[in-house]
Structure 1
């Protein structure tokens, strides 16, 4: 009976942590969406809000890290339970870094619009990539909530679409800068934003990889996936 009671307490504590992680996920999703809106319309007040909201995300990361550490010390989880806690800690770190990237987008957007955009529609350059990454982040959080290994594999494969879009944007920005030096400042800002979006896609992919680790007990980081099979890369 004591063991069963302890197990129930552990489950409740872990579920409370997972709920807060998903709350943190919702916060960084909002940060990202608002940062993209800043880049689209140049809303300086919204940019300031995105940057201010990052403090709340950082504080939640510290709280969750502490909660996970205490859970390990008190409950001493083993096997799959330990994998779940360790993966959750890594997800928390990736979410905090997504918040950092959203903050970079907001800061760059504010600077870009203050100086004025030159020579091209900067938002159209990143529109497709931004939508794919926003969907990737949302689906990664959903996958983590449901521990859906099948969807996680699909998300990992889909990251290549985001990487391809980034390479296309980079080529376009180089072309603009070569053809008209007046576009250099705007093109560089657009490129920094595209890179931040690409990094958010990477962090969403990481979350999917941690789901595979929890569900299947295998670490597929730094590996190439062919279909649902893993090969060393």
Structure 2
């Protein structure tokens, strides 16, 4: 059964409707916090703002707490309602999405910690162009994946998955460029390694956003497309009008 934005408001039990809507609402709230964590971590690095970076690190606990709360809510729904079909897919998708959001939060915290080290060492701005470019891609992926989840939008989810391939390509190009720079100037090795860790964290954020998009396809269509190349998908089937 394919679901739409109205599917989970048609139960006889109003309380069940409310519980399912609460799951989505709390997931979106967690997503909003995580999205801001990524934005602030990157800004802290590019602007040399160690205080902002420290706040990102401190806020990671709030992200973890939100995941625990969502997991508890999902467990209660599974135990009390024993959902089936699209309702079960929604609960499972929320659990998986919360896990990926928590990991995005972890990656943002890693970026913030590297930002603190780079600011303290006054290492200059080598690699900042690459960080800025890739961060714009992955932040858009996170935002769009959350939007696609909120709207059950499979077309937008596919766009996120296709964007992930571009992020991977830019990441590989950036790493080659930075490796060349380190070989040409040994003094740059330490700060450039820090930037490479930042880029790695950004690439991982893109992977987790891609996972979120895959959960949207699973949620709406009931299709498990993990480990499937977006180019190999039957896009006509995935993007077919909702009924």
With structure 2 as the length reference, what TM-score do the two structures score? 0.90
Q: Does 1:28 align with 2:34?
A: yes
Match of 1:139 in 2: 144
Q: 1:58 aligns with which of 59, 64, 68?
A: 64
Distance 1:182 1:58 in 2: 38
Match of 2:171 in 1: 166
Q: Does 1:212 align with 2:217?
A: yes
Structure 2 counterpart SS, 1:223? coil
Match of 1:176 in 2: 181
Provide closer, same or farther for how the CA distance between residues 212 and 4 of structure 1 changes in structure 2, counting only shifts above 3 A.
Answer: closer
Match of 1:45 in 2: 51
Query: How far 1:125 sits from its partner (Å)?
Result: 2.4
Q: Does 1:187 align with 2:221?
A: no
Distance 1:199 1:15 in 2: 29
Q: Is the 8 A contact 2:127 2:178 kept in 1?
A: no
Structure 2 counterpart SS, 1:183? helix
Structure 1 stretches lacking a partner, 5+ long: none
Q: 1:229 aligns with which of 203, 227, 234?
A: 234
Q: Is the 8 A contact 1:25 1:95 kept in 2?
A: yes
Q: Is the 8 A contact 1:68 1:85 kept in 2?
A: yes
Structure 2 counterpart SS, 1:158? helix
Deviations 1:63-115 (A, max 9, x none): 11000000000000001110111011000000000100000000001001111
Query: How far 1:10 sits from its partner (Å)?
Result: 1.3
Structure 2 stretches lacking a partner, 5+ long: 1-9, 236-243
Distance 1:184 1:4 in 2: 60
Distance 2:163 2:36 in 1: 22
Q: Is the 8 A contact 1:83 1:214 kept in 2?
A: yes
Distance 1:167 1:225 in 2: 19
Q: Is the 8 A contact 1:153 1:228 kept in 2?
A: no
Query: How far 1:225 sits from its partner (Å)?
Result: 2.2
Structure 1 counterpart SS, 2:229? strand
With structure 1 as the length reference, what TM-score do the two structures score? 0.93
Distance 1:121 1:180 in 2: 12
Question: RMSD of the TM alignment (CA)?
Answer: 1.5
Q: Does 1:18 align with 2:5?
A: no
Q: How many residues align?
A: 226
Query: How far 1:122 sits from its partner (Å)?
Result: 2.9
Query: How far 1:226 sits from its partner (Å)?
Result: 1.9
Compare 120-129 and 65-74 and name the one that shifted more: 120-129
Q: Does 1:152 align with 2:157?
A: yes
Structure of higher RCO (CA pairs closer than 8 Å, 6+ residues apart): 2
Q: 2:116 aligns with which of 110, 115, 124?
A: 110
